[in-house]
Chains A and B, each alone.
Chain A
Amino acid sequence: MTNPLLTARHLSKTYGSGTTAVRAVDDVTLDVAPSEIVLVMGPSGSGKTTLLSMLGGLLRPSAGTVEIDGIEITGKTEAELPSVRAVKVGFVFQAFNLLDALTVEENVLFPAQLMTGGRRAARDRATRLLDRLGLTHRRTALPKTLSGGEKQRVAIARALINQPPLILADEPTGNLDSHSGQEVMMILHDIARDEQRSIVFVTHDPRVEEIADRILWLEDGGLRDRKAAQHAWVLDPVCGMRVDEWTAVLSSEHEGRRYSFCSTRCQERFAANPAAYAD
């Protein structure tokens, strides 16, 4: 591997103490190369989000170090961390997390005000990003008027406005239908390839495996080798999408049979009328 962009060494996070201590992340060591797309998968409660928070400097590890683009962030003070985050990391959230009162363009420009030159210097870049992500006609719209796919595209543009070398994405397709999810996934893939940005995904969505350079499995706080039987493909009974039954966290029982789903939306539709979808 060339010089890694992201390095995590013996990263641990423990919540609580004594007999009630919970080790959410346990001695994780990880390198991510420039332009690499790394997928972190694992069951719910396995520590994926805790790991992502520590990699992005949002959460202090109990032990271990994180280095991004040559900057050791675990040694930074609370006052120093925001500028590192603003410059080095772009975040994409499952719930989009756009600022409701701001327009699409203002949301995209929000992190730019934390940089030298502020919003003015970033305005041209924002225009290009909005154009690339097909949002030019929505630049003055408020988030509440956008579809889920549009919101996530705005969030991606916001994550890229400061041109960070690392993107951390937490279930970026989790709240999207299959079409929008596919679209967002391909946008992130293109960004990694075209702009040489590293992306760490935390997801349950097996479709993301298609664009990942590497897949890591997190279980009980520790990174494990992926099991030999990598997939147990089944079809989502609602949308017909391929779902890995082995890793899927969204599943329901109906008449003694277990069904797995690609998204909460499909699961909810199934729950509303299982007879319409069950075999």
Chain B
Amino acid sequence: MWTWAWKSLVAQRAGSLGGACGIAGAFVLVIFFDAVWRGESEQIVTYVREMDADVWVMQRGVANMHMASSFVWDWKAEAIAAMPGVRRVTPILYLNSVYRVGDRRSFGYVVGLQPGDGRAGPWEMTAGRTVTAAGETVIPAALARLAGASLGDPVTIADRRFEVVGLSGGTYSAANTIIFVTMADLEDMLSLAGAYSFLLVDADDGVDAGALAARIRTDVDKVNAVTQEEFIRNDFAMAMQMGVEIIFLMTLISSVLAALIVAFTASALVMRARRELAVAKALGARSRSILAAVVLQATVVTLVGCAIAMAFTLFVMPWIPAFVPQLTLALSMATAARVAVIAVFVAAAGAILPGALVAAVDPATAFHR
């Protein structure tokens, strides 16, 4: 039966390939949604990662930056700066706010910098300079391109107008846009004085970051201090936690879709070969042998679909952000492995219906003229 299964599959290559492409489409959806979510989650921690502080200090009860609010009094920053093992403390103000660039209106993270601060500001400038005075802003270059904005154009953040003085790289995605202004402007917008949101702490050489964070938590009242790694981990976990149900749902929908396509393709193969299967049964082939042949066909179609999806993922997906800059994609081997596992179950599930059709084939129909 194996020879028949393989050769009849090849003989109906157009239909089989169509089914494989459909399955590939479903798998690409799984990989794509996962890559988008991972990419966005990675983008959420980009700022923290690029700052590369040894320790991050924030209000007690806060452990991450994404969508968090934190206030730390300025005297606490001075106290931390005076602690042994601390080389430098860089404060930032941080606000989640709505912005408008051209016709584009969206939600972004606004970081307030002390004028001339090169430590906590944009890490890659594609045009212009960083903020040095009130009313200035640095926006992502990708956002400027999408909105048709350039240096000197106005940007509205909340109810305040700013002028674009610089364009930054690596700071834009669908879920996380980072805009830089001066700390004074942000203080004014928040009606706040004498407080920061987060403190970036750089330790002296040889000082253990974990130990330093522990000392800060103990010695400074009502603050939380975590290492860079822990801060990133917390933010990433928070983002993934928010998206895990969506990813699960998308994976489930795509898997069901793939299973339906496998079932349809394999059923079509069975229906087309109904007479041949009746002949095979009449000649003495057992239903389980024929079923095994149909499962082989379903598995081959699924694996070809899986391979097409992987090829698309490897060779096409990396080009997507070039055309859709608001998307940040992160492809992972874990997703590929998950898709491969899903493929096995999809093939098995997709073979149930054709299996029932095989069982129903009446060998006596071989005599029909």
Contacts and interface: CB of A to CB of B under 8 A. Distances in A.
On whether the two chains bind one another, the answer is yes
Interface of A: 49, 52-53, 56, 58-59, 78-79, 82-83, 85-87, 91, 93-95, 97, 99-102, 106, 110-111, 113-114, 158, 162, 170-171, 174
Interface in B6-64: 7-8, 10-11
A91 B363 CA distance: 12
Interface size band for B: 20 to 34
Interface stretch (B75-83, B105-113, B133-141, B282-290): B282-290
Given A59-B364, A93-B279, A99-B8, 4 more contacts: A82-B287, A110-B4, A113-B1, A114-B286
A78 to B, nearest CB: 8
Contacts of A78: 287
Contacts of A59: 364
B353 interface: no
B315 interface: no
B187 interface: no
Nearest to B365: A58
B367 A101 contact: no
Contacts of B367: 49, 52-53, 58, 93, 170
A141 to B, nearest CB: 14
B300 interface: no
B304 interface: no
Q: Which 7 A-B pairs have the closest CB atoms?
A: A86-B284, A101-B7, A101-B8, A101-B11, A58-B364, A53-B364, A97-B279
Contacts of B284: 82-83, 85-87, 111, 114, 162
Interface in B266-294: 275-276, 279-287, 289
Q: Give chain B's interface secondary structure class.
A: helix
B363 A111 contact: no
Contacts of A100: 8, 11, 276
B10 A82 contact: no
Q: Which of A83, A99, A100 is the most central at the interface, judged by chain B CB atoms within 10 Å of its CB?
A: A99
Contact of A99 (B279, B281, B287, B289): B279
Contacts of A82: 281, 284-287
Nearest to B289: A114
Contacts of B3: 102, 106
Interface string B355-366: 000000001101
Interface in B340-368: 363-364, 366-367
B4 A86 contact: no
A91 B7 contact: no
Interface of B: 1, 3-4, 7-8, 10-11, 275-276, 279-287, 289, 363-364, 366-367, 369
Given A110-B280, A110-B283, A114-B285, A102 B4 contact: yes
A53 B8 CA distance: 27
A91 to B, nearest CB: 6
Contacts of A111: 283-284
B292 to A, nearest CB: 12
A76 B284 CA distance: 14
B165 to A, nearest CB: 70
A94 B369 contact: yes
23 contacts: A52-B367, A53-B364, A59-B364, A82-B285, A82-B286, A85-B282, A85-B284, A93-B366, A93-B367, A94-B369, A95-B369, A97-B276, A99-B279, A99-B280, A101-B8, A102-B7, A106-B3, A106-B4, A110-B283, A111-B283, A111-B284, A114-B284, A171-B369
B275 A97 contact: yes
A202 to B, nearest CB: 9
Contacts of A97: 275-276, 279, 366
A90 to B, nearest CB: 9
Contacts of B7: 101-102, 106
Given A83-B284, A111-B283, A99 B276 contact: yes
Contacts of B282: 56, 58, 85, 91
A204 B333 CA distance: 67
A20 to B, nearest CB: 20
Nearest to A54: B364
A56 B367 CA distance: 11
Nearest to A142: B11
B218 to A, nearest CB: 76
A202 B48 CA distance: 85
Contacts of A170: 367
Contacts of B283: 85-86, 91, 110-111, 114, 158
